[in-house]
Amino acid sequence: MMGLRFHFRFLVLCACLILPITQCLAHTCLPEEHAALFIFGDSLFDAGNNNYINATTNFPANVWPYGETFFKYPTGRASNGRLIPDFIGGAGALFENSSRRGWVIDLNTQLKYFKNMETVLKRTLGEAQTKKLLSRAVYLFSIGTNDYAAPFSTNSSLLRFSTHEEYVDMVIGNFTTVIKEIHRKGGRKFGFLNLPPAGYFPSTKATMPQNSEEITALVKRHNKALSHALQILASQLEGFKYSYTNLYNFITERMNNPLKYGFKEGRMGCCGSGPYRGIQSCGRKRSINDQYELCGNPSEYLFFDSAHPSEKANEQLAKLLWNGNLDVTWPYNLKALFGQKQREIN
């Protein structure tokens, strides 16, 4: 699965199956039967794109000890090692919650980068081959957590002037618009993670515990709305197939029962400071206030820092995304999506 890789500055990753080679993109050749993996997402998926924008002062992941376990140096991944896409092959759905503050690359901007790459592919491979590549690809999304946590930490006016239902509808509406645009470009196979229990993250419990229940209520409403929206899209869009993975239950289970899944600690971060090591100080040593604590063995922790899973947790989730049963991911897992033939989705 982890075949040829094309790294573009903002579109995180395109991974291809290793099969007979017939087409070449620049100096890299494409297999005759291949499936690209396009990643759209937040810091759960970001392999270092935020290194290129003004994000390092607020949420640095390109400093030690990030990357210490696997890469042995910081790559910009918000973990001690690999992320979910690294095993399989940061942003908000709303512009207000991401790019306006220069923290991360929002979903609409990521769509723009995808369209730019489509142009590059057409120029190099031609119209027909590009259409084939895009139709066989799987488009994997992890997006939305920032939309529900950021308004509380930044004193945003978004939630003050809308009900929970209106706000979730706005987030889902922006998300589905992007999905429809990718479908219009030829995308047919999509993978989605629902949102984790961000209201109970170490960062939330340490810095805004008074908002924990409201964030949780928003996340639950979002997950229900997303599931419903995907069912509607499947009935409306020709050939639309998707995988929906229950990240909320995955994290909650391991927070409540860490030993069952091979962890010793499910509620505290490995790296950080303050209560639960939930203050985002990991890697910072500019002043006394920026000192941080680092655990001895990150693989014993569900969270590496105040809000991001450890490499071990990412690996467990990647396996469930890839070939998990219907209790975890439905109606298809990613392995089944990649196995869908083009003629089945046209």
Active site positions, annotated: 43, 305, 308
29: enclosing H helix or E strand:
strand 28-31
Strands (E), 203-289: 241-245, 265-269, 271-272
Neighbours of 123 (CB within 10 A): 10
For residue 318, the Cα-to-chain-centroid distance in whole angstroms is 11
What is the number of H-type helices and E-type strands within the chain?
11, 13
Q: Kind of pairing, strands 138-142 and 189-193?
A: parallel
213 contacts 199 by C-beta, under 8 angstroms: yes
Distance CA 75, CA 51 (A): 9
Distance CA 244, CA 141 (A): 10
* Closest to 135 (Cα-Cα) out of 256, 49, 239: 239
DSSP three-state, residue 52: helix
